């Protein structure tokens, strides 16, 4: 089986190299046969890559511990589904899976966009990028390497009786889907990147490449965001520290391309409607993809320490060379095409939808820079000062919370601004109700005793944005009813169907508001630690936690010890919970299994930390307000993104891009 | 095995004795100090106050020492400084606000302000460039080839959605 895996991996290398050479030669000789064969080579590479992944999976499922990668991340007693997820538990297998996902995107693109004029150059770019990853996978971190014992007579094959097992923290259902979803997001940006490079290469720099890759970009953005949020959910329910975001370097690595990708999704609208910001958009796509690769580098190189990172590996410098090479090549393309990227229209006013998008982009980029700067500052400090330092959550929160609030504000302000320019009258008309709603919310919160300035601002701005979104829907529905008649619900359905992109976008914005409401809850987190004998209680606000028992048990995979507690609120019993500590038999690693009583008001998060020397249970109780709103926000964002991906029922009237032209949407 | 011994301890737990709500671990000062320090176990980067590792060899003794020093009446800032002297700046969860490390705090702001200056400059320059073109106020000028009836309908729709 490993021969099949290795052969397939080699075939991927060969096919990608052929795709690059044939597409370039095909362009030079104007041979459609060569270009088509290059495209098919990319599709074949996807097939070989699938075979390679299947071969490694088969080794995992067969408990074939002759292979170092299988022995390192699996064990015989592991359930089959964790043997499958062990595929991406380490560096080598995850890179194999990464390459496979990238080839799935590349093949889907090669099939669906086969008649695109940019295709030969897209295939060459995709082939070149994937060739690098496949080369790394085959020669530098091959997951099909066998274990060997070094003896005087030379190395002899060695097969351990069992594997080391999967890190117990990764033995969680979310971990079976979080990495594939996150990777899909990371690799998906290769498609807009390839189209951008192809457009620059061929000087076909109108908005066509952006329109043709809009769905690819959205899909990548959606998967990356979903992966990040799923990671947060996993951290919250599995790690036992009471939070869902720790500003770990690897978390930051995923957040950065998501931020620039978000900026791109907004600024492309200006290029599509007005033929402006061409350089900016091309630059954003390039930066987003380079940040995706840089994130991979951060995770795998070991230059920053992280709980998520794979062990420092020998391929760091090769990855760095690839990033620098890709950055120089992309920058050179961009610079040499600047004359072709001239804007077709000019901005007319500071107070306009266009400038709103510009400021939105600025804030997203500033947030990305702050995250990048904070993530790399320890490396810089060590290089310059020779002293190690840490940059943790207090830094990132202090720098990014104001930027996040400004972005939330822009989420509400943007839709209220008119394209081209907003007059004083329209500003008054559009802003009065949302602004008053926001101010009223703020005043009410202060009157009810809230004193945390950021939280008050966040809730007030959330009210402002929600009213803005509501009024956008209401105005649209009113216009449709005036035009076509019918009930409110029918008009709303009709309205959304006719412009899924716009109204799906508003739903995503609503999801963002819900996320921010959840984030604001962090300002009021409380926790208490108590050592309890049976029958004793500890309290946090109106909540009381009473220890009832200390049950224990074992499964084939782990031993466990629990703290059975009765949770009550205002002395009324709410439920019995049993947070546990588990000891993984294969790895010997102890983990917490937290239990939560979750409502939209707050989570009561119970962690059993262990037993004191005199036999008392140490229970850590967190009272985390509004956490559920984060997960609800994520779900709403999911719905909104799916809606934006759906085609309009009837085409929206496109903008005229001639000078002085303006965009009119069919409402 | 250590876990087995814990099970044994749990099984023979004494049922007497007062509840120990560990107030020393729940004070605002304790939270402040333990959130200003990072775990030094060598990889997790967790804030000491949040490190959830089972009997962490770094965070647990630090938490214990912080609680003891606070109980002894030491000021939170003094405790943080003492740890920074003992372990170096690496134990602090955020860079100091002096010397070279000040740049960690300043540069994101410089980026934002510089970016805002660029955006304003671009806006001003492009406005000047667009000044030659006739402005049409708040209402978009349709550059589409449409009949007067269609244009009138569009005007009416635009008015309605305002």
- Whole-angstrom Cα distance, residue A289 to residue A266? 17
Q: Are B82 and B34 part of one and the same domain?
A: yes
Q: Are B105 and B60 part of one and the same domain?
A: no
Residue A420 is predicted with a pLDDT of: 76
Residue of chain B whose alpha carbon sits nearest to that of A590: B54
Longest dimension (CA), chain A: 90
A529 to chain B nearest CA, in Å?
Answer: 6
Phi (first) and psi of residue A304, to 5 degrees? -120, 145
For residue B19, pLDDT beyond 50: no
- Mean of the per-residue pLDDT values of chain A: 90
Residue B4 is predicted with a pLDDT of: 53
Residue B29 in any domain: the answer is yes
Phi (first) and psi of residue A575, to 5 degrees? 175, 165
Residue B78: burial class (beta carbons within 10 Å; 0-12, 13-18, 19+): exposed
Residue B83 is predicted with a pLDDT of: 96
For residue A266, pLDDT beyond 70: yes
Q: Which residue has the higher pLDDT, A91 or A43?
A: A43
Contact A297, A319 (CB under 8 A): yes
Chain B residues inside the 8 Å CB shell of A384: 100
- Mean of the per-residue pLDDT values of chain B: 76
Region A419-430: mean pLDDT is 80
> Quick one: which of A482, A493, A419 has its CA closest to A649?
A493
Chain B residues inside the 8 Å CB shell of A347: 122-123, 126-127, 130
For residue A200, pLDDT beyond 70: yes
Residue A211 is predicted with a pLDDT of: 85
Contact A502, A398 (CB under 8 A): no
> Quick one: which of B24, B28, B120 has its CA closest to B63?
B24
Residue B85 in any domain: the answer is yes
Residue B156 in any domain: the answer is no
Say which residues have a Cβ less than 8 Å from residue A545's Cβ, sequence separation at least 6. A530, A532, A537, A538, A539, A565, A566, A567, A604, A606, A619, A621
What CATH number is attached to the domain comprising B28? 1.10.8.640
Contact A444, A503 (CB under 8 A): no
| Lowest mean pLDDT across A334-348, A422-436, A513-527, A570-584 | A334-348
Residue B35 in any domain: the answer is yes
Q: Do B104 and A391 touch (CB under 8 A)?
A: yes
Contact A103, A42 (CB under 8 A): yes
Query: What's the predicted TM-score (pTM) here?
Result: 0.89
Chain B residues inside the 8 Å CB shell of A613: 9
Q: Are B106 and B90 part of one and the same domain?
A: no
Q: Are B43 and B86 part of one and the same domain?
A: yes
Q: Are B31 and B88 part of one and the same domain?
A: yes
Adjacency order of strands within the sheet including A595-598: A595-598, A602-611, A617-625, A526-532, B20-21
A659 to chain B nearest CA, in Å?
Answer: 9
A527 to chain B nearest CA, in Å?
Answer: 7
Of A80-84, A159-163, B8-12, the range with the highest mean pLDDT is A80-84
Q: What is the dihedral of CA A373, A376, A377, A383, to 10 degrees?
A: -140
Contact A247, B44 (CB under 8 A): no
Q: Are B85 and B23 part of one and the same domain?
A: yes
**Ordered DSSP codes for B97-110:** SSGGGHHHHHHHHH
**How many residues does the structure list for chain B?**
162
For residue A667, pLDDT beyond 50: no
Q: How many domains does chain B have?
A: 2
Residue B90 in any domain: the answer is yes
> Quick one: which of A42, A4, A45, A51 has its CA closest to A23?
A42
Residue B143 is predicted with a pLDDT of: 46
Residue B8 is predicted with a pLDDT of: 45
Q: Side-chain half-sphere of A150: how many Cα atoms within 13 Å?
A: 0
What residues does each domain of chain A span? 1-145+159-171, 523-627
For residue B10, pLDDT beyond 60: no
Residue B17 is predicted with a pLDDT of: 37
Say which residues have a Cβ less than 8 Å from residue A552's Cβ, sequence separation at least 6. A559, A560, A561, A562, B7, B10, B11
For residue A596, pLDDT beyond 50: yes
Longest dimension (CA), chain B: 91
Handedness of CA A314, A320, A321, A326 (dihedral sign): positive
Residue B43 in any domain: the answer is yes
**How many residues does the structure list for chain A?**
667
Contact A221, A185 (CB under 8 A): yes
Residue A661 is predicted with a pLDDT of: 37
Residue A421 is predicted with a pLDDT of: 77
For residue B46, pLDDT beyond 80: yes
- Whole-angstrom Cα distance, residue A563 to residue A615? 12
CB atoms within 10 A of CB B5: 10
Of the candidates B17, B52, B140, which has its C-beta nearest A664's C-beta?
A: B140
Complex prediction ipTM: 0.85
Q: Do A476 and B143 touch (CB under 8 A)?
A: no
Find the domain containing B106 and state its range.
97-130
> Quick one: which of A104, A309, A559, A6 has its CA closest to B54?
A559
Q: If pLDDT is split at 50, 70 and 90, which confidence band does B23 have?
A: low
Q: What is the dihedral of CA A45, A50, A52, A57, to 10 degrees?
A: 170
Q: Are B85 and B112 part of one and the same domain?
A: no
Q: What is the pLDDT of residues A21-35, one digit of tens each?
A: 999 999 999 899 999
Beta strands in A447-579 (DSSP E): 526-532, 537-540, 543-549, 552-554, 558-562, 564-569, 572-577
Residue B142 in any domain: the answer is no
Residue of chain A whose alpha carbon sits nearest to that of B124: A350
- Whole-angstrom Cα distance, residue A173 to residue A606? 20
Q: Which residue has the higher pLDDT, A318 or A51?
A: A51
Say which residues have a Cβ less than 8 Å from residue A313's Cβ, sequence separation at least 6. A91, A140, A141, A300, A301, A302
> Quick one: which of A137, A60, A68, A59 has its CA closest to A101?
A137
Q: If pLDDT is split at 50, 70 and 90, which confidence band does A310 have?
A: low
Residue B80 is predicted with a pLDDT of: 96
Q: What percent of chain A has pLDDT over 70?
A: 95
Of A338-342, A457-461, A657-661, the range with the highest mean pLDDT is A457-461
Q: Do B22 and A531 touch (CB under 8 A)?
A: yes
Q: Which of A237, A260, A309, A348 to probe the B interface (max B CBs under 10 A)? A: A348
Q: Which residues pair with A527 in a beta bridge?
A: A622
Residue A313 is predicted with a pLDDT of: 60
Residue B11 is predicted with a pLDDT of: 43
Residue of chain B whose alpha carbon sits nearest to that of A382: B90
Q: If pLDDT is split at 50, 70 and 90, which confidence band does B130 have?
A: low
Residue B147 in any domain: the answer is no
Q: If pLDDT is split at 50, 70 and 90, which confidence band does A639 have?
A: very high
CA angle, A398 as apex, A267 and A281 as ends, to 5°?
15
Chain B residues inside the 8 Å CB shell of A475: 161-162
**Ordered DSSP codes for B51-82:** ---TT-TTHHHHHHHHHHHHHTT--HHHHHHH
A373 to chain B nearest CA, in Å?
Answer: 7
Summary count for chain B: helices (H), strands (E): 6, 1
Q: Which of A529, A535, A607 to probe the B interface (max B CBs under 10 A)? A: A529
For residue B148, pLDDT beyond 90: no
Q: What is the pLDDT of residues A89-119, one digit of tens each?
A: 888 999 999 999 999 999 999 999 888 889 9
Of the candidates A242, A389, A667, which has its C-beta nearest B50's C-beta?
A: A242
Q: What is the pLDDT of residues A512-544, one digit of tens each?
A: 999 999 999 999 999 898 999 999 999 999 999
Say which residues have a Cβ less than 8 Å from residue A480's Cβ, sequence separation at least 6. A486, A491, A494, A495, A667
Q: Do B4 and A559 touch (CB under 8 A)?
A: yes
Chain B residues inside the 8 Å CB shell of A659: 133
**Element (DSSP H or E) covering residue A169:** none
Phi (first) and psi of residue A513, to 5 degrees? -60, -45
Residue of chain A whose alpha carbon sits nearest to that of B26: A528
Of the candidates A365, A425, A559, which has its C-beta nearest B115's C-beta?
A: A365
Q: If pLDDT is split at 50, 70 and 90, which confidence band does A397 have?
A: very high
Terminal C-alpha separation, chain B: 73
């Amino acid at each position: 089986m490993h021969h099949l895996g290795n052969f397939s991996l080699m075939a991927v290398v060969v096919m990608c190299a052929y795709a690059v050479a044939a597409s370039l030669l095909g362009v030079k000789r104007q041979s459609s046969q060569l270009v088509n064969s290059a495209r098919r080579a990319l599709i074949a590479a996807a097939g070989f890559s699938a075979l390679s992944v299947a071969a490694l999976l088969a080794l995992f499922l067969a408990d074939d511990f002759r292979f170092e990668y299988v022995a390192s991340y699996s064990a015989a007693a592991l359930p089959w589904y964790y043997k499958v997820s062990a595929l991406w538990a380490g560096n080598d297998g995850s890179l194999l899976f990464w390459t496979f996902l990238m080839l799935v995107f590349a093949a889907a693109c090669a099939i669906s966009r086969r008649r695109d004029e940019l295709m030969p150059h897209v295939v060459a770019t995709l082939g070149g990028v994937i060739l690098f990853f496949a080369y790394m996978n085959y020669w530098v971190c091959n997951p099909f390497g066998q274990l060997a014992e070094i003896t005087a007579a030379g190395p002899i094959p060695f097969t351990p009786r069992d594997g080391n097992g999967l890190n117990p923290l990764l033995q969680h259902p979310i971990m079976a889907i979080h990495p594939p979803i996150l990777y899909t997001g990371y690799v998906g940006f290769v498609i807009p990147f390839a189209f951008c490079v192809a457009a620059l290469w061929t000087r076909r720099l109108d908005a066509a490449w952006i329109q043709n890759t809009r769905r690819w970009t959205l899909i990548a953005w959606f998967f990356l965001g979903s992966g990040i949020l799923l990671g947060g959910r996993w951290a919250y329910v599995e790690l036992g520290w009471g939070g869902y975001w720790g500003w770990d370097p690897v978390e930051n690595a995923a957040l950065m391309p998501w931020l620039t990708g978000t900026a791109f999704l907004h600024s492309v609208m200006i290029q599509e409607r007005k033929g402006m910001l061409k350089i900016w958009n091309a630059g954003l796509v390039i930066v987003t993809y380079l940040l995706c690769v840089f994130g991979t580098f951060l995770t795998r190189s070991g230059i920053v320490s992280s709980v998520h990172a794979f062990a420092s590996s020998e391929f760091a410098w090769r990855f760095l060379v690839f990033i620098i090479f890709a950055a120089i090549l992309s920058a050179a393309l961009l610079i040499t095409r600047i004359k072709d990227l001239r804007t077709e229209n000019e901005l007319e006013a500071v107070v306009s939808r266009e400038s709103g998008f510009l400021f939105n982009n600025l804030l997203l980029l500033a947030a990305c820079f702050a995250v990048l700067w904070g993530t790399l500052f320890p490396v810089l400090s060590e290089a310059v000062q020779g002293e190690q330092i840490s940059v943790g959550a207090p830094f990132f929160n202090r720098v990014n919370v104001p930027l996040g609030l400004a972005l939330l504000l822009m989420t509400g302000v943007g839709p209220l601004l008119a394209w081209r320019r907003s007059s004083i009258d329209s500003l008054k008309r559009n802003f009065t109700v949302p602004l008053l709603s926001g101010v009223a919310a703020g005043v009410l919160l202060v009157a009810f005793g809230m004193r945390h300035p950021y939280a008050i601002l966040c809730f007030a701005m959330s009210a402002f944005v929600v009213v803005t979104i509501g009024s956008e829907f209401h105005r649209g529905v009113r216009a449709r009813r005036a035009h076509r008649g019918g009930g409110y619900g029918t008009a709303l359905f009709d309205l959304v169907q006719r412009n899924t992109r716009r109204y799906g976008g508003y739903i995503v914005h609503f999801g963002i508001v819900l996320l921010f409401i959840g984030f604001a809850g962090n300002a009021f987190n409380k926790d208490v630690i108590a050592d309890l004998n049976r029958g004793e209680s500890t309290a946090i606000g109106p909540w009381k936690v009473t220890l009832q028992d200390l049950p224990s048990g074992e499964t084939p995979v782990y031993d466990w010890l629990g703290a059975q507690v009765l949770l009550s609120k205002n002395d009324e019993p709410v439920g019995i919970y049993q947070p546990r500590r588990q000891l993984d038999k294969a790895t010997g690693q102890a983990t917490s299994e937290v239990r939560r009583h979750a409502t939209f008001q707050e989570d009561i998060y119970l962690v059993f930390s262990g037993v004191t020397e005199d036999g008392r249970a140490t229970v850590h109780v967190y009272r985390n307000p509004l956490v559920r709103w984060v997960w609800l926000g994520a779900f709403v964002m999911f719905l909104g993104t799916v809606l934006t991906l759906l085609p309009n029922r009837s085409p929206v009237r496109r903008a005229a891009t001639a000078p002085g032209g303006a965009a009119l949407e069919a409402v | 095995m250590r876990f087995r011994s814990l099970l044994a301890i749990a099984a023979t737990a004494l049922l007497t004795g007062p509840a120990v709500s560990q107030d020393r671990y729940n004070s605002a000062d304790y939270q402040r100090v333990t959130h200003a320090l990072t775990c030094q176990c060598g990889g997790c980067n967790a804030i000491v106050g949040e490190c959830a590792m089972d009997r962490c060899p770094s965070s647990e003794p630090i938490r214990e020492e912080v609680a003891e020093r606070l109980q002894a009446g030491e000021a939170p800032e003094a405790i943080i400084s003492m740890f920074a002297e003992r372990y170096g700046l690496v134990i602090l969860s955020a860079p100091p606000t002096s010397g070279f490390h000040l740049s960690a705090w300043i540069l994101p702001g410089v980026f934002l302000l510089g970016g805002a200056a660029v955006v304003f400059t671009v806006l001003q320059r492009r406005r000047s460039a667009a000044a030659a073109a006739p402005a049409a106020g708040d209402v978009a000028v349709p550059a589409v080839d449409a009949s007067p009836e269609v244009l009138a309908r569009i005007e009416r729709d635009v008015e309605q959605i305002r």
